[in-house]
Every structure is written in C-alpha cells, then in structure tokens.
Amino acid sequence: MLLTNARLPQESGTIAAVDVAISHGRIQAITPAAGRPGGIDLGGALLLPALVDGHVHLDKTLWGLPWRPNSGAANVAGRVENERLHRRDLPPVQQRGAALLRQMIACGTTALRTHTDVDDAYGLANFHATMELVASFKGQADIQVVAFPQSGIVTRPGVADLLAEALREGADLVGGLDPASIDGDAKAHLDVVFGLAQRFDRGIDIHLHDRDPGGNAQLRDIAARTIAIGMQHRVTVSHAFSLGTPDENDFAATADALATAGVHILTSSPSAGPVPPVLALRARGVVIHAGSDNIRDLWSPFGNGDMLERAFLVALRQGFRADEDIAVALSLCGDAAALGLPARRIAVGMPADLMAVECETLSEAVARRPPRKLVTKAGVVLARDGRYTGA
Amino acid sequence: MLLTNARLPQESGTIAAVDVAISHGRIQAITPAAGRPGGIDLGGALLLPALVDGHVHLDKTLWGLPWRPNSGAANVAGRVENERLHRRDLPPVQQRGAALLRQMIACGTTALRTHTDVDDAYGLANFHATMELVASFKGQADIQVVAFPQSGIVTRPGVADLLAEALREGADLVGGLDPASIDGDAKAHLDVVFGLAQRFDRGIDIHLHDRDPGGNAQLRDIAARTIAIGMQHRVTVSHAFSLGTPDENDFAATADALATAGVHILTSSPSAGPVPPVLALRARGVVIHAGSDNIRDLWSPFGNGDMLERAFLVALRQGFRADEDIAVALSLCGDAAALGLPARRIAVGMPADLMAVECETLSEAVARRPPRKLVTKAGVVLARDGRYTGA
C-alpha cells in the first residue's frame, strides 16, 4: 500500500510532504511526495500516529442505543448501585461494545485498555462478554482487559476469587477501586490486588477517586508496594484526583514516589474538581497519559471515544495554549508505551498504525478535531472520512 | 414557509411530532405532523430555539486564516501586549469577523454580543470596522457591540474620550476590564464606565478576571453602583472567576448583591481555574448566561463559535450529568433575555429564530453536537446541514 501526498511533522518542527510505502503491516519507506499514481491520495492531510485510549469501559457503554436520561447519583457509591440496578436491562456487551469500538477506531484509536466489571452481582459475565468482544476485533485494535472490581473486593464476598479466575482466563491486568473510601480497608484491598498481580504476573490499574490528602498517602503506599514486588512501569493509577492538591510539599513527595516506582498516572481530564497537573508531573519524571473513561453509559451521558477531543479537553483543563503544550496534550492521547505496548512513531520499520487528518498543524488537529480522513491498523485501512469501514 | 416532520420538546417533558408554519418572520402555527408535501422536511430532527452567544470578540478572531502558533503570555497583561504587537499584521476585521459570523450562524447562533477593542494604539479603528461588519450581517444576527477598553482606561490617556465617541456613534454598551488589577484604580475605572453608561443611557459589560477575594468586593461595588444609577438588568460582569470562591459567606453575600441589583454574570466556562457555580447562583436569583469568549485568536487557539459545544463545556465544568441540569447548561447558551433581547421560545407568535438538530433529545444535542440541519433567522434560512448558506 502506498499513501501519497501526506504531510508529516518533522522533529525540526517543520512539516514535510511525503509518500509512505507500507507492507507486511509496517512502514517500508518514507520519501518526498512525488505525485505517484495508484496510491491512496491523502490530499495534503496531516499524517499522525494512531491514537491510544488508556482507560475505557467497553462493557458499560450505551453507544448505539436510544438516548437514555442519566439516573445516576452524585457520588461513586451511588453510581455503582445505579449501574447494578439497571445493567440487566441492557443489550449484550458484545453489541454495545462493538458499536463503541467501531466509533473509536473511526476516530483513530487502535490501542486501548478497557476495565471490565467483575462483581458479586454479575460474576464473570461482563468479563466473558468483553473477552469475546476483544477476540472479534483482533487485528483491528490492541485491547488490554482489566478485571475491575467495580463494587469493591473486601466488602463483596467472592470477588477476590472471581478476579483470580479472570486472570487465569486471560485478563491482562488486575484492577482496584478506591481502597479506602469504597472498600473501607485500603490495606486489605491492596493486599488482594498486589497479591493477585504477583501470583499471576500481571499489571495493575487502580481507580483512585479520593480527593483528600489520604489519596496521596495511598499513592505513596502503592508506589512502595510496586517497588516491593518489582513491578515498576506495570502499575497505573487512574484519576488520582488528589495529585491536584494545592499542597506543594505533599505533591512533590508523592510525585517523586510515583516517578521512582514507575507508577503511571491516567487522567480523563474531567473539568470539574482537581486533576493531576500534567506538566508538573512530567517535570518530576512521572508518566501521565490519558483515556476517555465513561462514554455514554449509566455513569455519564458524555464522551464520544475520540482521543483528539480528549486531547482538546486535556489542553483546556490544563490551561494549555502554546503549540508545545498542545503537543504534550496530544502525546498523552497516543501513549502506547504507557500501556507497555511499543511506542508509536511514523518511521521506517514501525508498525503502520496511522491516521490522516485534514488540517495544517498538530495544534489545529486538537483545536478543530476534524473527522479522520484515514485510519490504518498495521497497514490495514479501518476507517475513511470519519466512518468505520472494517478490515 | 412550512417546516414539516419536526420533533418539538414540550413543557411536559415529552416530544411532539409537529409541522411549523412561518410567515412574516414569525411562527404562525404549530400543528401535529401530518405528512404535508411542499415544506422543508426535517426528517424528525429536534427543533430548538436558535442559540445566543453572550460574549465574543469578532475583531480579534483569526478564523479563516492559516493556522498561527500562539505567541501569548501567561497572564492578561502579557496577552494584551502580545495582541497590540501583532494586530497590525492581520487582515481587516470585516474579513476575519465575517468568516467567524458565518461559522457561528452555521452553528445556530443568531444573536450575540461582541466586545470590540478601543484603545490608545488603535483608537476607534476596530470599532468602526466592527460596526461595518455588523451592518453587513443585518437581518442575519442581532449583534450588540461593546466599546471595550482592552488596554485599560485610567492608565491609557484618551481612552475615556474614545469610549464616549464610540457610544456617540452607536456602540450598544460600554465595557470595562479588571478595574483593580489592570488599571490599578478600581474607583477611577468604574467612575468612567458608570459615568459613560449614565450619560449615554447604555448598558455595561465588564471583564473581571480577578480571582482573589477582592474580585467579589468589586462585584458588590458594581452591584451598588448599578442600583445607584437605576440600571438593574442592564449590567453584566463577564468571567467573574472570584465567584468560584470556596468561602460560602463571601459567595452568598456577593450573589445576593448581584441578584438584588440585577447584575448578570457571563461565563465562558473555562476548564482551568475557578468559575461561577451555575446552580448556586441561579438558586440565589442571579442571571447567569454563557458565551464563547476568544475564538481562535491571539489569546487562544481554541473555540469554534458553536454554542452547543459551549453548553457541553459548561455541563462538563459544572459536573452536570442529569437531563435537567444539561437543560440548564443549554439554556445559558440561548439566553437572549440576559442580553435585554426578547426571550426565545418555539411558540405561535414568536420570531422564527430556530435550529433543527438530528438527535433524540436535548441532552443528546449537547452531548453529541451534530451539525445543524437547519438554521433560520426570523424565518429566513441561513444554514443547512452545517453549512452557512446566507440569506
């Protein structure tokens, strides 16, 4: 396959007009645009690495269903209960999740991590459905599955065993949720999570919503536990709102602990309430990347699976206006390495996970978020002009 | 003109399939959808009142120009200087502003308030250009022009006289900017602003970015001055970040003063930093409405003039998830009455300023922000399928 007439941002900051030859799933050559016939003419569209969504819940989405008013409560516990109540009435995960995956791929996402609920009400049903869904998209997206104890572990008999069974059956990571505020016993909760990770040699991804200083104390505990079992750069904490603290000393101590332990931070960059400060964390060596979190589900009516829109929301939330900062926001939304996957670059020899966007610069792509002109996964075209075409 | 097969939200919360007959710029009849031929078939799209942008800067925008990296500083004073420096190189306001107005109308906005810079570097040049621009869109959008002292009044000799001249020549309102932090003398600044308003019998719209408690003290001063000259509901304070204070007593005292004085609050709902809390202000009787603020200009690379996107950003920023709250976010983006214009409703006898959106419910319109299928101003079609068609 030959992509012609693309515009490729260079490390120097300039943009070069190029043709890109692809075969066997990889970029074979990048040459100055030469008006070659027979390829896919990108008409001067900007060529960027395909996007990465570090945190979604494919099993929760209502994507593709008739609009449903939000019936959730104002706090996490209430939203958990709301979902437990209404979930039985929904069509299968395979249908809803597939509708969302098609949308995400159409927006240029070809790698993602999904948290799938494992709890005492539904057992492994969501997990099994998610694994089927993932298998059906093999080759179109690299999908990591987190066995996620959405209703808690310590307070829910049997959930620890269900998590173990999910890991035995192939879950890529073990999840956790607000060890102190949901389960009421941070030590017991983290003992289970880290114990399972060690036993099955799998990564960890913990939801932590706590906003008070206790949140940062838990982050430092997680950092210490990560070092203790030698899982540097295989542990992520999602949300970590407490890093948005105004206490500079508490922030610095926590960020340094995370950097030393290689604990990654995932933000969906919500606009209300404190969030982890992106530039300050990076300055201290912490890996921070981004994900959609809830996409039109029983938790939130918002979200659309477009990581260019997520980059826009990250930039707004962090007060970014300069090109170099907006580039950081976008990099958070394409950070495969943060998930332990090969880093993405448009260079000879790299996998051809690409997207083309009709705009002048990377900042314009984030500001304007036009439909993706082309999306490829390992050189296979999966979407054109904003529409999923399939493999 | 007949609009057929529209879906119209009812006060009861249900949605009715209707046909809408329009003539002489007004809605003449709303009848159950009857499959009539010959009209504009909206195919079941939701019919909503056209949108209102309470705060833009048409004279600043770079809309329609090649992408330009942001060169602004991190604070208001630095951004003012950056703009004074680079403005001379830009194409005329009439060209840039017209490009943005076409975009705004295509997104369903048919009334707006624009702040046009009056300062000692450019005199009345921006103002005159804006008045020309406004005249050229007569009948397509109701545009209020604020004579806005972007560089200050007290510290800039001659600006007070320039503001007076702008009002004499037809500016609808007199503006102000950070009386304490930019001009360094809140009393002298407000004396000029309120003096001009009284002398020319025009409304007031003051930018107030101050975040410290002094911001709320200024709001209470503005409220007292508003009552003193009998200008209730003709004074707006834009931004008013200090209302996002965690000090409940300070908030309550300030909100009550604003409500009593009929001082309106305009928010663009930025994601970084504190913002006025929408529901708490409304609960105390304060009128709060929304606007885009900067749209792709020397201040910010972001913004697109779409007030449905603004409603989305308001909802995110305020943590809204329930339908009734999302309806509030949207109402802030269509509040003509807050500008002193007739309130908008889809009812017999009302002006036909309408838009049609392909979605099921009002919340979905905000969450998904699809292109507007149709936009009318006083019954004249101005945009179809997301594209400005003109009168």
B142-148 vs A2-9, strand pairing mode: unpaired
CA distance B115 to B238: 11
CA distance A177 to A245: 20
Name the token pair of B116. 């046009």
Nearest to B44 by CA among B382, B381, B358, B282: B358
User: How many Å lie between the alpha carbon of A167 and the closest alpha carbon of chain B?
Assistant: 34
- Taking an 8 Å cut-off on Cβ atoms, the answer to whether B70 and A270 are in contact is no
Nearest to B219 by CA among B250, B254, B245, B247: B254
What's the whole-number mean pLDDT along residues B180-203?
A: 96
- Taking an 8 Å cut-off on Cβ atoms, the answer to whether B70 and A323 are in contact is yes
Contact status, residue A344 vs residue A326, Cβ threshold 8 Å? no
User: How many Å lie between the alpha carbon of B108 and the closest alpha carbon of chain A?
Assistant: 18
Q: Is the pLDDT of residue B92 over 90?
A: yes
> Domain A2-49+344-388 belongs to what architecture?
Roll (2.30)
The confidence band for B70, taking pLDDT boundaries of 50, 70 and 90, is confident
Name the token pair of B55. 């705060």
Identify all chain A residues contacting B300, using CB atoms and an 8 Å cutoff. 321
**pLDDT at residue A170, as a whole number:** 98
**pLDDT at residue B84, as a whole number:** 86
Which residue type sits at A154?
V
- Taking an 8 Å cut-off on Cβ atoms, the answer to whether A302 and B313 are in contact is no
In the numeric block, the tokens 């082309």 are attached to A374
Q: Is the pLDDT of residue A349 over 80?
A: yes
Nearest to A234 by CA among A276, A172, A277, A181: A172
Of A299, A315, A323, the CB nearest to B69: A323
Residues 6+ apart with CB under 8 A from B314: B267, B269, B278, B290, B320, B329, B332, B333
Mean pLDDT, chain B, as a whole number? 96
Summary count for chain A: helices (H), strands (E): 11, 17
Identify all chain A residues contacting B271, using CB atoms and an 8 Å cutoff. 271, 313, 316-317, 319
Contact status, residue B6 vs residue B42, Cβ threshold 8 Å? yes
Residues 6+ apart with CB under 8 A from B253: B216, B220
A302 in B contact zone (CB under 8 Å)? yes
- Partners of A265 in the beta sheet? A237, A288
User: How many Å lie between the alpha carbon of A172 and the closest alpha carbon of chain B?
Assistant: 31
Identify all chain B residues contacting A304, using CB atoms and an 8 Å cutoff. 367-368
Closest chain B residue to the Cα of A299, Cα to Cα: B321
Instruction: Name which of B67, B209, B298, B309 to mutate to probe chain A: the one with the most chain A Cβ atoms within 10 A of its Cβ.
Output: B67
> What CA dihedral angle connects A119, A124, A127 and A133, to 10 degrees?
-140
DSSP, collapsed to helix, strand or coil, labels residue A41 as strand
Q: Return the number of other C-beta atoms located less than 10 Å from residue A247's C-beta.
A: 12
SS (H, E, C) A302-351: CCCCCHHHHHHHHHHHHCCCCHHHHHHHHHHCCCCHHHCCCCCCCCCCCE
Q: Return the number of other C-beta atoms located less than 10 Å from residue A200's C-beta.
A: 16
Query: Looking at residue A293, what DSSP letter applies?
Result: B
The confidence band for A260, taking pLDDT boundaries of 50, 70 and 90, is very high
Contact status, residue B34 vs residue B18, Cβ threshold 8 Å? no
Contact status, residue B107 vs residue B308, Cβ threshold 8 Å? yes
Identify all chain B residues contacting A323, using CB atoms and an 8 Å cutoff. 69-70, 301
B361 in A contact zone (CB under 8 Å)? yes
Identify all chain B residues contacting A296, using CB atoms and an 8 Å cutoff. 367
Closest chain B residue to the Cα of A272, Cα to Cα: B317
B205-214 pLDDT per residue, tens = 999 999 988 9
Mean pLDDT, chain A, as a whole number? 96
Nearest to A168 by CA among A176, A160, A177: A160
A239 in B contact zone (CB under 8 Å)? no
Distances in whole angstroms, Cα of residue B138 to Cα of each of B142, B166, B391: 7, 19, 10
**pLDDT at residue A310, as a whole number:** 98
Identify all chain A residues contacting B304, using CB atoms and an 8 Å cutoff. 367-368
Contact status, residue A182 vs residue A76, Cβ threshold 8 Å? yes
CA distance A179 to A154: 9
Domain ranges of chain A: 2-49+344-388, 51-339
- Taking an 8 Å cut-off on Cβ atoms, the answer to whether A70 and B315 are in contact is no
Q: Is the pLDDT of residue A160 over 90?
A: yes
Which residue type sits at B12?
S
The confidence band for A35, taking pLDDT boundaries of 50, 70 and 90, is confident
B230-266 pLDDT per residue, tens = 999 999 999 999 999 999 999 999 999 999 999 999 9
Closest chain A residue to the Cα of B361, Cα to Cα: A67
Instruction: Name which of B241, B313, B316 to mutate to probe chain A: the one with the most chain A Cβ atoms within 10 A of its Cβ.
Output: B316
User: How many Å lie between the alpha carbon of A66 and the closest alpha carbon of chain B?
Assistant: 8
Q: Is the pLDDT of residue A226 over 90?
A: yes
A189 phi/psi in degrees, rounded to 5? -60, -50
A12 in B contact zone (CB under 8 Å)? no
The separation between CA B122 and the C-alpha centre of its own chain, rounded to angstroms, equals 24
Burial class (CB in 10 A: 0-12, 13-18, 19+), B272: middle
A37 in B contact zone (CB under 8 Å)? no
Name the token pair of A318. 């962090």
- Taking an 8 Å cut-off on Cβ atoms, the answer to whether B301 and A326 are in contact is yes
**pLDDT at residue B269, as a whole number:** 94
CA distance B281 to A253: 38
- Taking an 8 Å cut-off on Cβ atoms, the answer to whether B67 and A364 are in contact is yes
Of A299, A323, A360, the CB nearest to B66: A360
B35-48 pLDDT per residue, tens = 888 899 999 999 99
Nearest to B311 by CA among B289, B330, B325: B330
Which residue type sits at B336?
A
**pLDDT at residue B85, as a whole number:** 86
**pLDDT at residue A362, as a whole number:** 95
Contact status, residue B32 vs residue B16, Cβ threshold 8 Å? yes
**pLDDT at residue B176, as a whole number:** 97
Of A67, A299, A359, the CB nearest to B361: A67
> Domain B51-339 belongs to what architecture?
Alpha-Beta Barrel (3.20)
**pLDDT at residue B28, as a whole number:** 98
A54-82 pLDDT per residue, tens = 999 999 999 999 998 888 777 888 888 88
- Report the range of poorest mean pLDDT among A272-276, B51-55, B381-385: A272-276
Contact status, residue A320 vs residue A366, Cβ threshold 8 Å? no
A318 in B contact zone (CB under 8 Å)? yes
A192 phi/psi in degrees, rounded to 5? -65, -50
Nearest to B223 by CA among B183, B193, B192, B264: B264
**pLDDT at residue B38, as a whole number:** 87
What's the whole-number mean pLDDT along residues B116-141?
A: 97
Distances in whole angstroms, Cα of residue B312 to Cα of each of A86, A275, B282, B327, B328: 25, 19, 19, 10, 11
- Partners of B146 in the beta sheet? B115, B173
What's the whole-number mean pLDDT along residues B297-316?
A: 97
Query: Global pTM?
Result: 0.97
Q: Return the number of other C-beta atoms located less than 10 Å from residue A381's C-beta.
A: 16
**pLDDT at residue B13, as a whole number:** 83
What's the whole-number mean pLDDT along residues B152-175?
A: 97
Instruction: Name which of B275, B321, B357 to mutate to probe chain A: the one with the most chain A Cβ atoms within 10 A of its Cβ.
Output: B321
Contact status, residue B354 vs residue B374, Cβ threshold 8 Å? yes
Count of CA atoms in the C-beta half-sphere (13 A) of A130 = 29
CA distance B376 to B105: 9
CA distance A151 to A34: 57
CA distance B221 to B213: 13
Identify all chain A residues contacting B359, using CB atoms and an 8 Å cutoff. 67
Which residue type sits at A377?
K
B368 in A contact zone (CB under 8 Å)? yes
Percent of chain B exceeding pLDDT 90 equals 89
A98-142 pLDDT per residue, tens = 999 999 999 999 999 999 999 999 999 999 999 999 999 999 999
**pLDDT at residue B76, as a whole number:** 84
Contact status, residue A96 vs residue A63, Cβ threshold 8 Å? yes
Identify all chain A residues contacting B270, using CB atoms and an 8 Å cutoff. 316, 319
3-state helix, strand, coil in chain B (%, to 5): 35, 25, 40
A321 in B contact zone (CB under 8 Å)? yes
Interface A-B, measured as beta-carbon pairs within 8 A, has a size of 88
Name the token pair of B79. 């951004």
Buried-state track A335-353, b at ≥16 Cβ within 10 A, e below 16: bbebbebeebebeeebbbb
